[in-house]
Amino acid sequence: MNPPLKPTVACLAVLVVGVFGMQGLYAQDGPDSAAPQFAADRGARSLRIEGDATAFHVVVQQTTLADVLSALESFDVRYRSSIRLEEVLNGTYAGSIDHVVARLLNGYNFATKQDGSRLEVTIFGKGGEFEVPAPIIASVRRRPSD
């Protein structure tokens, strides 16, 4: 990870837990156990996550992408990014955890890796941020054959 990003990611994780506060996170031990949950409300900003890896439901309002991804760490999602993730999200995302993450990262260049129950996400940049080099044009001169 890029060294300047480590403190940023750590601060964002503290921000999500400290500013929003975790209100409901449950382990799934048996058939009667409640599904894991994460809920945070702070003024106009809110974030609610419910479900498990196969049936996930995320509702965000005026919350940054970094805050949402940090909150997903409670659900065994780890992410690394080479850019700041300050885009503010509004909306509802539902489906499997990898489908929800893909929708959250729509417009970004990223890769995912499933390692057991953990989903590892690497974000490289926004789509279209990288310039495609122009083709190299070289003239070829043919020698007359003898």
Q: How many C-beta atoms lie closer than 10 Å to residue 49's C-beta?
A: 23
CA distances from 16 to 10, 12, 19 (A): 10, 6, 6
pLDDT at 99: 92
Higher pLDDT, 2 or 103: 103
Among candidates 105, 9, 92, which has minimal Cα distance to 50?
Answer: 92
Q: For residue 118, which amino acid is it?
A: R
Domain ranges of the chain: 5-126
State in Å, rounded, how far the first CA of the chain is from the last one: 60
At 142 the pLDDT is 74
| Strands across the sheet containing 56-64 | 37-42, 45-51, 56-64, 88-95
Which tokens hold the place of 43?
Answer: 């003024």
Q: What is the β-pairing status of strands 118-126 and 108-115? A: antiparallel
pLDDT for 110-136, tens place per residue?
999 998 889 999 999 988 655 555 566
State pLDDT tens for residues 45-104: 889 999 887 888 999 999 999 999 999 998 899 999 989 999 999 999 999 998 999 999
Q: What is the mean pLDDT of residues 18-45?
A: 47
Phi-psi map region of 99: left, alpha, beta (phi>0 left; psi -120 to 50 alpha): alpha
- Per-residue confidence at 12, pLDDT binned at 50, 70, 90? very low
Q: What is the pLDDT of residue 46?
A: 86
- Bridge partners of 79? 121
